[in-house]
Structure 1
Amino acid sequence: MSATCPSKMKIPFVEPAICFSVFAMTLTAPLTTQYVYRRIWEETGNYSIAPDSNVSECAKNKSSPIFTFQEEVQKKVSLFNLQMDISGLIPGLVSTFMLLSHSDHGGRKFPLILSSVGALANSAWLCLLSYFAFPIQLLIASTFLGALCGNYTTLLGASFAYIVDQCKEKKQRTIRIAIIDFLLGIVTGLTGLSSGYFIRELGFVWSFSIATMALTVNLIYILFFLEDSMKEPSSQNVSISWTEGFKNLFYRTYMLFKNNSGEQRSLLCLLLFTMITYFFVTVGISPIFILYELDSPLCWDEVLIGYGSALGSVSFFSSFLGIWLFSYCMEDIHMAFIGIFTTMVGMAMIAFARTTLMMFLVRLPFLFTVVPLSVLRSMISKVVRSTEQGTMFACLAFLETLGGITAVSTFNGIYSATVAWYKGFVFLLSAVLLLIPAISLCAVKCISRNAGSYVLLLQEESSEDTSDR
């Protein structure tokens, strides 16, 4: 009896860890962009910044000499962000791939712990960097080292796998994942809303310190309070080498496609392609919003940027409500179409936003931006057998890491090359690129129609029948 007491003291909910991590990430991202903008502004020329200001000055008059200067700063900041993203690409891919594949045998807590340690170390370094005014080039090195421990995608992938381990019933699993989307919306919205006030009232050092404290609490929770979802990790495979881990994951990924029929295999490939292409555009364009808002003619301060981030985060909550309401009257694939096309409209509108009011109004079409990601993830999970869920989440995390870092690097490069010519070009380009997942989704619809109904649902039912026998 007493032997079971320690395990009962553990908490079987990964949601608090996600909330702490998302809070720190949502606070750190705009802080880092604005801090880099300020440092590059000061180091590029002789234009000074007011001592009590935490953002750069901004000129709206094109004849002003400072206007040309701020265009140069925009280019340099975009290129610096590109260098940071590239530095974390390879280590982020390798660590995500290996940590999540190893978690199938060694437990989910290890990738949760290691990715949290990396985030904590990176946040602590930002505190020191801003306090001692070290060269900002050191951010590139810290990004590389932090990515070796995993990143946000690693933590999120391990969290989803943690939930899959706990929830054997598919309805319960859907509810838990929907709750996570709901919590993401609340945390990111409130954090984005307050981030500007953090900078204005506390400055960069204390703001980074708050994120560091949140990540410290998160690590303590995972280490000492979170229960491992895998009660009995396989002792045979715990000591498996990283090379064998790669081979095993590649083999299990290969079996995902081999075990399915030709039609189901095509459907799975199209769903993955649709999700990654949509993810590529939406994640790649997100850092450009802050640069676009800092520059003329908007010239937003830190508070307005916080308001904009909060409005953007509302999409998590509104998408959750949209899925809940639309599910009563339409199929999953139609909900995904709505999300893609409304996001496309928002991208096109933002390219022509020249006033603060217009910039706030263009957030309305983004209310269903998260719908395609949630729906496509659900559709993919239904194609895959219950015994292959862990491998699928590892593959999705790998693709999201590759696609996310590549996307941010690509869009930063495009923005840097076109900012002096036309600032809104990158948003128009993203609207056009969203036609790719829309066309891919049409192909999914055709395959499903030819089968008479969704092949993924038939696959799920047949796998359940087999397991019951």
Structure 2
Amino acid sequence: MGRVLLIEPAVGLYAFAMFMIYPLLQQYVYRRLWFELSGTTYPSESLSHCSNNHSYITIHQAVQKETSIFLLKSELCFLIPSLISTLLLVSYSDHSGRKVAIVPPLVGDALFALCYVLISRFSFSLSYLLAASFLSGLMGGPTTLIGGCFAYVADLCGEDPEGQKTVRMARLDMILGVLTGLASLCTGFYIKAAGFTWPFLTAFFLHLINLFYVLVVLKESLVLPNPGLSLSGPSAAKAPRLRQSHALTTRLQGVYLLFAASKRRRNVVLLLMLAAFAFFRVALQGGMSIFILYELNTPLCWSEVLVGYGSALSSAIYLVSFAGVALLSRCLPDAYIILLGLTSVAAGLIMAAFAKSTLLMFLVRLPLLLSIMPTPVLRSMMSKIVSGSEQGAMFACVAFVEMLSIGVSFTMFSSIYAATLSWFSGFSFLLAAGLTLIPAILICVTLCLRLDVYEESIILTEERMENTEIFELPP
């Protein structure tokens, strides 16, 4: 079933629905805790909760800390089951098709949004949100879906020219960013006009529409074998169950064999790339995850509309990063594009640490314009040095590392932000900027040791041709 080989609409719709919920989540929890701790509703005026009155300052700091701690608990409830689900679903998609890694996260996030609808409508306890986070993680979450989508693109690229895969993956990242910014912009006005329940309900219906597109419209990128051709008779009834069980065991082993059955040189390249990817995601996600709390804090005291403007402006980061990858990949090696992106991350986060006015906080997005470039380039570099049958296993590793990095960064930076809030709220940004040195060093190591990914891809192609000749039957 399915007629269209176009994954971009699914990614864009998912990004829009997901990032309608993400700013909603933080602001909803913030306002609920404000009510619980102060006994008063959240002030409608953007600056009234930032009064110089001592009691308001005390309440404000208490709400900031409690919100940070609650979001940390929610992230941990999501992280633990999602680590297992990510490895399982994305690697298993090598056998059963990429939709195996795309459909469950959509179902999980639809149920997650529905839980928020009920909690915001009937003012249930915030503890139920932790159960919703666990359920969403059990179904895979965003990294599983994104990992499946990137594997889908890798299937379609096949033996395309060298820069094609990098550009197409950068395009997916751009779609994620642009729709994310648009959703955040709409959310600010939506909250102001209709409260929290209707935006959560809208996100729920968007996930349902996306689920319909993936199941009915989207065509599978892998050509799956027909199980009815290999067996017949009474044993055919038991064959599907045995085959699925064997495939599951094989694909779980596939992640291990990705490293165990390959040459040492390729393993070194992959491990360095995965480590660089992990530390980059910790630095970027750790710094960006506290942007909204930082903007709600004194002296900025942004309203929900300003928060939406800021998030929407961040979509320019994805557009410029995509343009940067598309142009720079024609004249620069991948490693230098990554180093340029890391410099952009460090510069933007250092500027954010000292942003004390609304104008300066908006201008923070300028040095961050190239900060997304390392993500698609690193994915593309790793994809180029594994075979087509290993794409799912490789992207399962990337998705696992990404989810682990996001969990570690959120846990670490939420705790650090709560601890340093009283003396320097921008410390977390400086720490995140400092962490960009680690992936930069790892990339420099690949350059110094001449561990070139392009050469590895050529070696892989030659090995494929040799294997084809060996196993080719004589006429």
TM-score (norm 1): 0.91
Matches within 5 A, 1:159-178: 159-171=149-161, 173-178=165-170
Picking from 334, 340, 346, the partner of 2:336 is 334
Q: Which deviates the most, 64-73 or 249-258?
A: 249-258
From the superposition, tell whether residues 173 and 378 of structure 1 become closer, same or farther in structure 2 (CA, over 3 Å).
closer
Deviations 1:275-312 (A, max 9, x none): 11101221223221000000100000011101111122
From the superposition, tell whether residues 213 and 394 of structure 1 become closer, same or farther in structure 2 (CA, over 3 Å).
same
Aligned to 1:389: 391
Aligned to 1:39: 32
* 8 A Cα contact 2:46 2:302, kept in partner: no
Aligned to 1:347: 349
* 8 A Cα contact 1:198 1:207, kept in partner: yes
Structure 1 alignment gaps of length 5 or more: 1-6
Aligned to 2:466: 466
Q: Does 1:200 align with 2:192?
A: yes
Quick one: distance in 1 between partners of 2:445 and 2:305?
Answer: 44
Give the number of equivalent residue pairs: 457
Aligned to 1:283: 285
Deviations 1:329-379 (A, max 9, x none): 321111110100111111111111100011011111111111111111111
Aligned to 2:91: 101
Quick one: distance in 2 between partners of 1:297 and 1:352?
Answer: 11
Q: Which deviates the most, 92-101 or 186-195?
A: 186-195
| Residue identity (%) | 39
Quick one: distance in 2 between partners of 1:428 and 1:30?
Answer: 23
From the superposition, tell whether residues 405 and 298 of structure 1 become closer, same or farther in structure 2 (CA, over 3 Å).
same
From the superposition, tell whether residues 382 and 267 of structure 1 become closer, same or farther in structure 2 (CA, over 3 Å).
same
Quick one: distance in 2 between partners of 1:365 and 1:108?
Answer: 36
Q: Which deviates the most, 28-37 or 199-208?
A: 199-208
Deviations 1:53-84 (A, max 9, x none): 397942153x5320121011100000000000
Deviations 1:256-277 (A, max 9, x none): 2244433332222111110111
Aligned to 2:9: 16
Aligned to 2:473: none
Per-residue deviation, 1:150: 1.3
Matches within 5 A, 1:39-438: 39-50=32-43, 53=44, 57-59=48-50, 61=52, 64-171=54-161, 173-233=165-225, 235=227, 239=241, 247-438=249-440
TM-score (norm 2): 0.90
Q: Which deviates the most, 74-83 or 244-253?
A: 244-253
State the SS of the aligned residue for 1:365.
coil
Structure 2 alignment gaps of length 5 or more: 231-238, 470-475
Quick one: distance in 1 between partners of 2:22 and 2:243?
Answer: 35
Quick one: distance in 1 between partners of 2:463 and 2:293?
Answer: 49
Quick one: distance in 2 between partners of 1:17 and 1:284?
Answer: 26
* 8 A Cα contact 1:54 1:200, kept in partner: no
Deviations 1:359-412 (A, max 9, x none): 011111111111111111111112222332121011111111122122212211
Aligned to 2:234: none
Per-residue deviation, 1:162: 2.0
* 8 A Cα contact 1:19 1:187, kept in partner: yes
Quick one: distance in 2 between partners of 1:389 and 1:54?
Answer: 51
Per-residue deviation, 1:92: 0.7
From the superposition, tell whether residues 66 and 326 of structure 1 become closer, same or farther in structure 2 (CA, over 3 Å).
same
Residue type of the alignment partner of 1:407: S
Quick one: distance in 1 between partners of 2:376 and 2:212?
Answer: 29
Quick one: distance in 2 between partners of 1:244 and 1:468?
Answer: 25
From the superposition, tell whether residues 71 and 286 of structure 1 become closer, same or farther in structure 2 (CA, over 3 Å).
same
